[in-house]
């Protein structure tokens, strides 16, 4: 409870600090006007005349109502609507990246543009804040953010009064979205330990960006260094480079690879591959980096040899299965003929068949072992006998005589999941009568031909078997 109270106070302080520091300043207003408003416009058609609501240009066109056309003056591609249009609206979300007191904050805004009385009115409301700390992420909703029955909307008609912390609703669905304005960030981070972290090169609209910000908070020096070296793709994974030491220790390759790494702005995965193959060949590196199972395949194969042998992203999982089969079949995993087969698909299918045959063979043997284990439960009187299923062949025969699917129980019987018994007439033991399934020494089901229930007399015999034999075994 103490801890919760502390966290609440901590966030409370942060919220009031944000409210004091965060504003919508003139540069931000200009940015909205330039980047969002122009898209929120229409081309209004009056007889033959087309008027652009963005720049007021009047022109002649023949685009039908409901299609888009490009204004010849402002070059915006806009929807054509008739001049009798009463109402139309555009909504768009955008974000502002800020930094405050050890946290990055993505402020979520909505622009609402309403066409009414032949003109547009525009509203801009901040409705949520994603507060990104080193180890925590908090989502705050303004009272303007409304959610009802899964529908989300922003109420532009009311004033913002409170922020509420939404731990329970912390779901990607409600994360702020849209293009990101970074105009304030350099001023925000000035005189902090992040002041030399140039964030703009890695800003993106992906969800991943949130985790990049967390890594920057944790490893600002790695980030700063990588960005300065022009390695933006490695900078986004700066958490992998915090180890101190030589270039080789940090990057896994010697310093003479640096120009190559810079030239192609390698990603972390590509850099790891470069460390393995030690060849400055971007085509090969990108090909290998498209593999999902690179690490696993690389641990078993000479990856360049495998590439020459036709390994690619379409057959990598077949290759992986094939190697797995070969290991299970105890093949020599140093033999080049095994590791790099001439026809991968064919070799894969062959080994798969061998494995299946082996499994079947084992199942047949296991069923015979089960019979020996359960033989002691055999039970008879003058009319009936119950005994465990002696073999897979018997099971197949029973299944065809009874028209049931007991055959599919073979693996479960072999693996000790269930016990299977036949009940037959002493006078005609070759002919199937009742099939009985037992689990934990209790009869689970007993069936005669066509999955029917046995007769009263038969059930009575089964019950006495259960009481006299099974319960004591």
Q: Within 13 Å and on the Cβ side, how many CA atoms surround 445? A: 9
Restricting to residues 173-192, name those near Zn ion by CB under 5 A.
none
Stretch in the footprint of Zn ion (CB under 5 A) among 1-9, 66-74, 423-431, 452-460? 66-74
CB 144 within 8 A of CB 155: yes
Binding-site string for Zn ion from residue 341 to residue 380, where x marks contact by CB under 5 A and - marks none: ----------------------------------------
If one asks whether residue 9 binds Zn ion (CB under 5 A), the answer comes out as: no
Nearer to Zn ion, 57 or 122 (CB): 57
* Contacting residue, 7, 22, 31, 57, with Zn ion by CB under 5 A: 57
Give min distance, CB of 27 to Zn ion, in A: 24
* Contacting residue, 29, 30, 73, 471, with Zn ion by CB under 5 A: 73
Stretch in the footprint of Zn ion (CB under 5 A) among 46-54, 215-223, 286-294, 350-358? 46-54
CB 274 within 8 A of CB 253: yes
Q: Reduced to 3 states, what is the DSSP secondary structure of residue 153?
A: strand
Nearer to Zn ion, 54 or 404 (CB): 54
Q: Which helix (H) or strand (E) holds 104?
A: strand 103-116
Nearer to Zn ion, 57 or 269 (CB): 57
Q: How far apart are CA 47 and CA 151, in angstroms?
A: 39
If one asks whether residue 125 binds Zn ion (CB under 5 A), the answer comes out as: no
Cα dihedral 352, 357, 361, 363 sign:
positive
Give min distance, CB of 73 to Zn ion, in A: 5
If one asks whether residue 52 binds Zn ion (CB under 5 A), the answer comes out as: yes
If one asks whether residue 71 binds Zn ion (CB under 5 A), the answer comes out as: yes
Q: Pick the closest to residue 185 from 174, 196, 176 (CA basis).
A: 196
Contacts of 378 (CB under 8 A, 6+ apart): 385, 386, 387, 388
Stretch in the footprint of Zn ion (CB under 5 A) among 25-33, 44-52, 185-193, 455-463? 44-52
If one asks whether residue 53 binds Zn ion (CB under 5 A), the answer comes out as: no
Q: How far apart are CA 412 and CA 403, in angstroms?
A: 19
If one asks whether residue 55 binds Zn ion (CB under 5 A), the answer comes out as: yes
If one asks whether residue 78 binds Zn ion (CB under 5 A), the answer comes out as: no
Nearer to Zn ion, 58 or 179 (CB): 58
Residue 85 burial (CB < 10 Å; 0-12/13-18/19+)? middle
Give min distance, CB of 55 to Zn ion, in A: 3
Phi, psi for residue 152 in degrees, rounded to 5: -115, 135
| Pure H helices in 58-125 | none
If one asks whether residue 29 binds Zn ion (CB under 5 A), the answer comes out as: no
Q: How far apart are CA 143 and CA 163, in angstroms?
A: 7
If one asks whether residue 79 binds Zn ion (CB under 5 A), the answer comes out as: no
Phi, psi for residue 78 in degrees, rounded to 5: -130, 160
Nearer to Zn ion, 73 or 439 (CB): 73
Nearer to Zn ion, 53 or 404 (CB): 53
Stretch in the footprint of Zn ion (CB under 5 A) among 69-77, 347-355, 375-383, 437-445? 69-77
Nearer to Zn ion, 39 or 300 (CB): 39
If one asks whether residue 68 binds Zn ion (CB under 5 A), the answer comes out as: no
If one asks whether residue 54 binds Zn ion (CB under 5 A), the answer comes out as: yes
Phi, psi for residue 132 in degrees, rounded to 5: -110, 110
Q: How far apart are CA 57 and CA 45, in angstroms?
A: 12
Pairing of strands 145-148, 179-181: unpaired
If one asks whether residue 80 binds Zn ion (CB under 5 A), the answer comes out as: no
Stretch in the footprint of Zn ion (CB under 5 A) among 64-72, 116-124, 127-135, 181-189? 64-72
User: Could you tell me how many residues of this chain bind Zn ion (CB under 5 A)?
Assistant: 7
Q: Reduced to 3 states, what is the DSSP secondary structure of residue 127?
A: strand
Instruction: For tokens 């300065």, name the residue.
Output: 228
State the residues that interact with Zn ion by CB under 5 A: 52, 54-55, 57, 71, 73-74
């Amino acid at each position: 409870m103490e801890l919760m109270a502390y966290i609440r106070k901590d966030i409370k302080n942060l919220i009031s600090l944000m409210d004091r520091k965060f504003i919508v300043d003139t540069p931000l207003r200009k940015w909205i006007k330039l980047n969002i408003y122009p898209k929120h416009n229409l081309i209004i058609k009056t007889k033959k005349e087309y008027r652009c609501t963005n720049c007021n240009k009047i022109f002649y066109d023949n685009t039908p109502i409901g299609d888009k056309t490009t204004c010849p003056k402002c070059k915006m591609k806009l929807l054509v609507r008739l001049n009798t249009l009463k109402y139309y609206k555009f909504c768009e979300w955008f974000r502002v990246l800020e930094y405050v007191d050890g946290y990055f904050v993505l402020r979520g805004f909505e622009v609402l543009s309403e066409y009414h009385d032949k003109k547009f009115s525009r509203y801009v409301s901040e409705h949520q804040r994603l507060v990104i700390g080193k180890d925590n992420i908090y989502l705050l909703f303004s009272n303007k953010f409304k959610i009802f029955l899964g529908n989300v909307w922003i109420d532009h008609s009311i004033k913002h009064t409170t922020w509420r912390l939404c731990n329970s609703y912390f779901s990607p669905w409600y994360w702020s979205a849209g293009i990101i304005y970074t105009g304030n960030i350099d001023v925000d981070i000035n005189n902090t330990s992040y002041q030399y972290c140039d964030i703009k090169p890695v800003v993106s609209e992906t969800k991943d960006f949130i985790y990049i910000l967390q890594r920057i908070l944790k490893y600002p020096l790695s980030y700063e260094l990588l960005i300065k070296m022009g390695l933006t793709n490695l900078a986004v994974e700066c958490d992998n480079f915090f180890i101190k030491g030589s270039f080789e220790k940090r990057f896994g390759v010697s310093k003479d690879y640096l120009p190559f790494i810079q030239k192609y702005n390698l990603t972390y995965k590509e850099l790891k591959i470069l460390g393995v193959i030690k060849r400055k060949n971007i085509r090969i590196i990108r090909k290998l980096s498209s593999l999902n199972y690179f690490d696993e395949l690389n641990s078993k194969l000479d990856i360049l040899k495998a590439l020459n042998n036709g390994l690619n992203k379409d057959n990598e999982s077949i290759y992986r299965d094939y190697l797995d089969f070969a290991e299970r079949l105890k093949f020599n995993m140093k033999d080049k003929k095994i590791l790099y087969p001439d026809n991968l698909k064919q070799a894969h299918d062959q080994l798969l068949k061998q494995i299946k045959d082996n499994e079947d063979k084992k199942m047949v043997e296991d069923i015979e072992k089960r019979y020996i284990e359960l033989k002691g439960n055999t039970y008879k009187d003058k009319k009936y006998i119950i005994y465990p299923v002696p073999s897979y062949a018997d099971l197949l025969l029973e299944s065809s005589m009874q028209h049931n699917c007991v055959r599919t129980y073979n693996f479960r019987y072999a693996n000790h999941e269930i016990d299977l018994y036949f009940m037959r007439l002493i006078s005609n033991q070759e002919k199937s009568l009742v099939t009985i399934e037992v689990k934990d020494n209790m009869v689970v089901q007993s069936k005669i031909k066509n999955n029917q229930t046995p007769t009263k007399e038969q059930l009575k015999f089964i019950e006495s078997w259960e009481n006299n034999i099974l319960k004591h075994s």
